Structure 1
Amino acid sequence: MGWVRTGGARSVAAVAAIVALAGCSTGGEDEAAPEVVVSAEVPAAPEPTASPAGEVSPAAPIDMLAVSAPGRTLVAVETDRTRLSMLPLDDLAAEPRTVETDSEILDIHTAPDGAVLLALDGAVGTLDPENGEIERIPVDGRVTAVAALDDGRLAVGVAGDDADGGSDIRILGAGGDVEATIGGIASVDDLAVTDGRLTALDRTQTSVTEIVVDEERLGLALRAGEGATELTTDHFGRILVSDTIGHEVLVHTTGDLMLRQRFPTGEAPFAVAYDDVHERVWVSLPGTNEVVGYDLGTGVGVETERFTTVRQPDALAVDPESGSLIVASATGDGVQRIPIGRP
């Protein structure tokens, strides 16, 4: 996996009814008739009734996590989303290095070179985890998602300012110049790059849409459950989406965007991460303060492990070398490392 992204903008808690895709479309006049759905809320966690598994280190409330593999650095976005904490992946109890941003962070991804990309208001921020410096690439608009393409360019989701609230995806060249603008999507809440292909998650339509970058257009769009919230990728090129309202995980492949698997989890799955070492997808269940691991090798998710977590486990990450699971609490109950045995 070229990047790790396990948090997300937590503004999905809107309870207003919105329009979603009923099936799939190609952006033309033959689109399926829409239906009304409700955006998923972040599940509220109860007070813990059992001790968390593994080791827990003190930490501020954390909303998002990313791992910069070259320097083995864990980067955490605190819940006010204007402060970053950087920790050595091998010593989560160490004193964190911190850096402030001048606007809210709505998305975080790790580029292949280890730089951490930040979606900001009016810019993409590039954080160097080694020195904590952030370089800003100006963007006209509020950036909601960002990802690095395989050729070094950046794909950036930008919130719309028109009456319909439509968003667009912009492709930025090496100097930050806009090389392409692709519209027609309601909201760009996350972006995934797999096998050179770009896919967008739209929470307001609970859908995933392929982005045909070379042709500057939207491709196939698929409904993603009843209330899609988070996504991640794996080294097989799959896109894994948590459906918080539908209590499922959805597994998509790209090329021709296709739903390959869907399987039930416990109530209201939220954060999702993939362990390439042990071939497990991890899903957090904030409503029960648990995290569950699934093996996808049989064509359907088979539960392999279940652990008690810190309270409100809203963000997950995986140590790319050991496969240890990192869980962060959004209520300030700490950051947790859970060692995972070899299969």
Structure 2
Amino acid sequence: MRSSATVGTGVVLVCALVLSGCSSKSGDSTDTLQVVADPVAATAPVSPQPAAAPAGTVIASPEVTALAADPATGTLAVAVPDAVLLYRAADLAAAPLRVPVAGRAEHLRVSGGVLLATLPAAGQVARIALPGGEVSTLTVAGQPAGAVVEGDRTLVAVRDRKAVDVFSGGQLTKTIEGQLYSADDVLQAGGNTVVLDELRTALFSVDVDGGTMAEGLRAGDGATNAVADSFGRVLVVDTRAGALLAFSTGPLLLRQRYPVPGGAYGLAYDAQRALAWVTLTERNEVVGFDVRGGEPVEKYRFPTVRQPDSVTVEERSGRVVVGSAAGEGVQVIQS
């Protein structure tokens, strides 16, 4: 199934609502970013039973908690409870290499030539070499939620400590705090570092060398997932409001807000084709948007497996991979 229809009307914004000197306590009524007295992070809307058969092919799998693809080695990584499965993208029918990890991997990202798997319950970030699967670990005080490699350093967002830890050579060298209610992911975009705070539903710039949290911007009503694109921007899914947001970095500015109804949640980016892929869990769909212009343009829409909470792209072929959080498999779609 392929569609060129555009959902809704796009709104292009340039916004510089800089948040500085904000309280770090969620109960402070003077906080201009706070919407409710006790903020709760948005989660994936529950999926109904699928109304259509999933597009493409489906590989049997237990619950999928995260996905990532590495074009350099042709590896597809699938996180399932207590392991990361490494598939050869050229032969997804072959049995994967099973890499045991210390619990549930909440997030996967290929960065700096390695696969980073965050294990919040274990207080670890697993560094998995590709394609061989050799593992080394970073021990984190708290719950690591997202990680990225920046030069010779690894930056880790630590959710419960509301901080970004900086590791070098496997050793903790710096902790950056301030303004956050939670630290749920950390990204590199356009040479700038940005942290996602799902409780404040905001993005913050991070001065890693200076060790400070810089300006912040509201990211909708319920930000859940974020990726860096190839234009120096950070794309964010606003799950509560049903929208795809685009922020430039250095300085941090909201450039676009585009409506994406239907339970927008999972997010991936195809740098070769400038496509942002968003899963819609209320509809069991995945939608591909061309994000090169002034507003996203819908190019593809496919039916998915139930509860499509995660998505990634195999950039060599353009195949889109969707993971079912309901244990109904890994879906592979040729777009």
TM-score by length of 1: 0.84
Matched position secondary structure for 2:142: strand
Q: Partner residue of 1:72?
A: 74
Counterpart code for 1:83: A
Give distance in 1, aligned partners of 2:326 and 2:91.
21
Q: Partner residue of 1:126?
A: 127
The equivalences for 1:73-92 within 5 A come to 73-78=75-80, 80=81, 82-92=82-92
RMSD of aligned Cα (Å): 1.9
Match among 4, 26, 33 for residue 20 of structure 2: 26
Q: Does 1:168 align with 2:169?
A: no
Q: Closer, same or farther in 2 for the Cα pair 1:217/1:236, shift >3 Å?
A: same
8 Å contact 1:27–1:220 — kept in the other structure?
no
Give distance in 2, aligned partners of 1:203 and 1:94.
37
Give distance in 2, aligned partners of 1:249 and 1:203.
15
Q: Closer, same or farther in 2 for the Cα pair 1:326/1:268, shift >3 Å?
A: same
Q: Does 1:297 align with 2:292?
A: yes
Could you tell me which runs of 5 or more consecutive residues in structure 2 were left unpaired when the two chains were aligned. Answer: 1-16, 24-29
Shift of 1:31: 6.0
Q: Partner residue of 1:6?
A: none
Counterpart code for 1:322: S
Matched position secondary structure for 1:119: strand
Q: Partner residue of 2:103?
A: 103
Matched position secondary structure for 1:260: strand
Q: Partner residue of 1:8?
A: none
The equivalences for 1:287-326 within 5 A come to 287-326=282-321
Give distance in 1, aligned partners of 2:155 and 2:56.
37
Counterpart code for 1:72: G
Shift of 1:27: 3.8
8 Å contact 1:144–1:188 — kept in the other structure?
yes
Counterpart code for 2:108: I
Q: Partner residue of 1:187?
A: 182
Residues 19-71 of structure 1: per-residue CA shift (max 9 Å, x gap): xxxx5413468963632154312111111121111222222221100112222
Match among 299, 324, 331 for residue 329 of structure 1: 324
Q: Partner residue of 1:274?
A: 269
Q: Partner residue of 1:112?
A: 112
Give distance in 2, aligned partners of 1:157 and 1:325.
27
The equivalences for 1:239-254 within 5 A come to 239-254=234-249
Q: Does 1:217 align with 2:218?
A: no
Structure number with higher relative contact order (C-alpha < 8 Å, ≥ 6 residues apart): 2
Q: Does 1:255 align with 2:257?
A: no
Shift of 1:148: 0.6
User: Which 4+ stretches in 1 moved above 6 angstroms?
Assistant: none
Q: Closer, same or farther in 2 for the Cα pair 1:246/1:91, shift >3 Å?
A: same
Match among 221, 225, 228 for residue 226 of structure 1: 221
TM-score by length of 2: 0.86
8 Å contact 1:325–1:338 — kept in the other structure?
yes
Q: Partner residue of 2:47?
A: 45
**Larger deviation, residues 213-222 vs 67-76:** 67-76
Residues 88-107 of structure 1: per-residue CA shift (max 9 Å, x gap): 11222221221221233233
Shift of 1:249: 0.5
Give distance in 1, aligned partners of 2:34 and 2:181.
13
Could you tell me which runs of 5 or more consecutive residues in structure 1 were left unpaired when the two chains were aligned. Answer: 1-22, 161-165
Matched position secondary structure for 2:50: coil
Counterpart code for 2:41: S
Counterpart code for 1:45: S
What percentage of aligned pairs have identical amino acids? 34
**Larger deviation, residues 292-301 vs 243-252:** 292-301
Q: Closer, same or farther in 2 for the Cα pair 1:39/1:124, shift >3 Å?
A: closer
Counterpart code for 1:178: L
Q: Closer, same or farther in 2 for the Cα pair 1:211/1:260, shift >3 Å?
A: same
8 Å contact 1:144–1:189 — kept in the other structure?
yes
